[in-house]
Amino acid sequence: MKHHTELPMNSLIQIHLSASPHRRTVSASAIRLASALMAWVAFSGPATAAMLPDSKPKEWPANPAKHQVVIQREAADKKQSAMIAAAEAAPVPKEALRKAAGEGAAPAGDKVWWYQEQLGIRIPYALTGDAVAYYAELVGKYGKQAFNRYIEPSSSLNYQAGVKFHKEFKLDDKSFKDVHVVTLKLTFDQNFAASQTEGMHFQKERVVVLDAEGKVLHISGDGPTEVPIVAI
C-alpha cells in the first residue's frame, strides 16, 4: 500500500542526538543531515534572504505534495501477512519503557511503543503497527495544515515490512532453525513542521523471529532511538 500524500551562511545549526536521556553523540546520519542543509544554503540563492536576522516567517498554505507517506508490506500469502501483523503487534515490556524514560515518566497505557517526546513528537522504543499509524497520521495532518514558517515545511514517512524464511538464522548471539524473519524498517523526517526553527530525522528497525506457527521467538531492535534534531 502506498500513500503519496534559506539559511544565511552564518546561521546557527545545532545537532542534538538523543539515543537516551544520558547520551549525546554525533552520528554519521546527523552529519549527513547537516551537510544537506549546508548544501541547500549554498544553492538557495535569493531564498537566503528569508532567514536573515531581521526577517519574519511567512504564511505557507497547506501543501500535501510536501508531506508524503509510503507504506509497503510485502507478503507472498496470508501466512506471511499474519506474520507481519504478529511482528507489528509484539508488545514492549513496561519495565523496559520505564528504564528508557530515565528520569522522565514513561508513557502510561497499553500498547505503548514510545518512551519520550521531542518537539511534541513521540520517539519510538519499538517499531509497531501503532507506531506506523501514528507517524502516517502525523504526516497526513501536516499535509492539511497551513504553517507560519521561515521556509516551506515538509515531512515524510517511509515504512517497509517483509518476511523471509531461513533454514538457519543467527541474531544477537542466538541461533534458530527453520524460522521466518520479519524485518520492519521506518524512516521519519519532519523539517520545520513541528517548530519554526527545528527539524527532526530518525530511522527505526525491528527484526522479529517467528516459528512455523507464527509464534514470536525473538525480537531485536527495540530500545532508545537516536534522533538527530537540527536547530536553525
pLDDT, tens digit, for every residue of 11-41? 434 344 444 443 334 444 444 444 444 433 4
Residues in contact with 155: Cβ distance below 8 Å, sequence separation at least 6, in sequence order = 66, 67, 68, 138, 139, 142, 143, 188, 189, 190, 191, 193
For a pLDDT cut of 90, what percent of the chain falls above it?
71
Question: How many Cα neighbours within 13 Å face the side chain of 184?
Answer: 25
According to DSSP, the β-strands at 216-220 and 2-3 are unpaired
Q: What are phi and psi of 96, to 5 degrees?
A: -65, -40
The predicted structure's pLDDT at residue 49: 40
Cell of residue 103, nine digits: 528520569
The predicted structure's pLDDT at residue 55: 75
Cβ 72 vs Cβ 183: under 8 Å = no
The predicted structure's pLDDT at residue 223: 97
Cβ 228 vs Cβ 201: under 8 Å = yes
Query: Which stretch of 51-65, 75-89, 96-110, 141-155 has the lowest confidence by average pLDDT?
Result: 51-65
- Does the structure show a pLDDT above 60 at 145? yes
Q: How confident is the model at residue 47 (pLDDT cuts 50, 70, 90)?
A: very low
Residues in contact with 141: Cβ distance below 8 Å, sequence separation at least 6, in sequence order = none
Q: What is the average pLDDT score of the chain?
A: 83
What is the pTM (predicted TM-score) of this model? Answer: 0.79
